[in-house]
Amino acid sequence: MYRMSDEQRRIRLGRRHLLAPSVRASSPVSVAEAVVALHATDAATVFLSACARMAEPDTVPVEQALYGDVSLVRQLSMRNTLFVVPREAAPCVDAANARAVAAKERRTFLKHLAEDGNGLDERWLTETEQQTLAELADRGTATGSELSAAVAALRTKITVFPGKKAEGIQGVASRVIRILAAEGRIRRDRPRGSWTSSQFRWTVSEPWPVEEPEQARADLARRWLGSYGPATEGDLKWWTGWSLSQARKALAAVNAEQVLLDDGATGWVLPDDLDPDPAPEPWAALLPALDPSAMGWADRGFHLPAEHREALFDRSGNIGPSVWWNGRIVGGWAQRADGEPVWRLLSAVGRDASAAIEAEASRFSRWVGPVRITPRFRTPLERELTV
């Protein structure tokens, strides 16, 4: 079996994820294509991840891609998580993941409506959705609060988990809007406030063209292996949220080749991707919380020392802002109250690396300016650095 070293995996990461200066992108769409999907649970992460990989980082082209020409779209998809993907890939992601997520969201909500015992059913939900879509079409854009004020049914409250310890009263507006968004019938438009805000306006959109799910999973696996291979079956299963059977079928469908990894595990690459990538120039990066390069594998041992996990991850497994040197995570970073970046190295890296990290922090400061960003999921080291 062909052997693929950890060093080659780190070289691939730096080159294919556009982190070395010589391979940085000219557009946010190119960034999203390179990493397949950008985490979007935290609104700021999309901008930070894109700009870290752009030769000329700027929020304006990212906003244009998200809200102007809509060449980047948000989808509730892999692992029931919100991602930003290139518009061209959206039908594939919809069929491979998002459609199943949307169906589960609808089933769960209908179950909660039935358990509430007030006669709310699928017909009521359909009518509420139609009223919401009609109101949004008339307005062009609206926030969730504005829609709730205009559509009486959205102000309905239900009892969830009745008779159980978790029993509580819940408004339906966010659930109805979430389902419509998951099904592609509405989408997030420009937020209220700056690019760091998650208070989105909504606008009507069209569902994606229907694709066959098994073929879509193969297409998504091909895209992912091109960016993240070599990777294990477990990595693909974790990243997508598929069953192990679905992951194996997708790997077989793209004729993936087995390779032996340094830890003795079996990895997979695309059939024409066994040749080593040439090493790029030395590179440093300050990547945000939930960046795809840190969240792309279930087993991150080839780029993340185990002793760094406690400082860099929260209790739910979300990574915070990380400092990289030549494909390894070597520390974490944050911003002080005035926006100045501050970092702590957890690995000894040497003078050249320290200088490169300092230069990358300066590049970050130039494009971010005075904007202060607090990650949605805060980690021990990020909290310490902001004190």
Per-residue pLDDT of 252-292, as tens digits, reads 999 999 999 999 999 999 999 999 999 999 999 999 999 99
Query: Averaged over 243-249, what is the pLDDT?
Result: 98
State both tokens at 127. 């009518």
Whether 167 shows a pLDDT value over 90: the answer reads no
Q: pLDDT of 324-353, one tens digit each?
A: 999 999 999 999 988 899 999 999 999 999
Label residues 5-30 b or e (16+ Cβ within 10 Å = b): eeebbbbbbbbbbbbbbebbbebbbe
Query: Averaged over 196-218, what is the pLDDT?
Result: 95
How high is the pLDDT of residue 26? Answer: 96
How high is the pLDDT of residue 1? Answer: 81
3-state secondary structure of 325: strand
Closest C-alpha to 359, from 254, 281, 295, 294: 281
Query: Averaged over 2-25, what is the pLDDT?
Result: 97
How high is the pLDDT of residue 337? Answer: 86
Closest C-alpha to 45, from 230, 227, 195, 203: 195
First to last CA, the chain: 50
Among 41-55, 154-168, 191-205, 289-303, where is mean pLDDT lowest?
154-168
How high is the pLDDT of residue 387? Answer: 79
37: exposed, middle or buried (Cβ count in 10 Å: 0-12, 13-18, 19+): buried
Q: For strand 2-4 and strand 257-261, is the pairing parallel, antiparallel, or unpaired?
A: parallel
CA distance 256 to 261: 15
CA distance 48 to 360: 13
CA distance 316 to 158: 28
**Distances 52 to 27, 139, 164, 361, 367 between C-alpha atoms, Å:** 11, 36, 46, 10, 10
How high is the pLDDT of residue 118? Answer: 84
Q: pLDDT of 309-332, one tens digit each?
A: 999 999 999 999 999 999 999 999
How high is the pLDDT of residue 87? Answer: 97
Backbone angles phi, psi at 260, to 5 degrees: -95, 125
pTM: 0.94
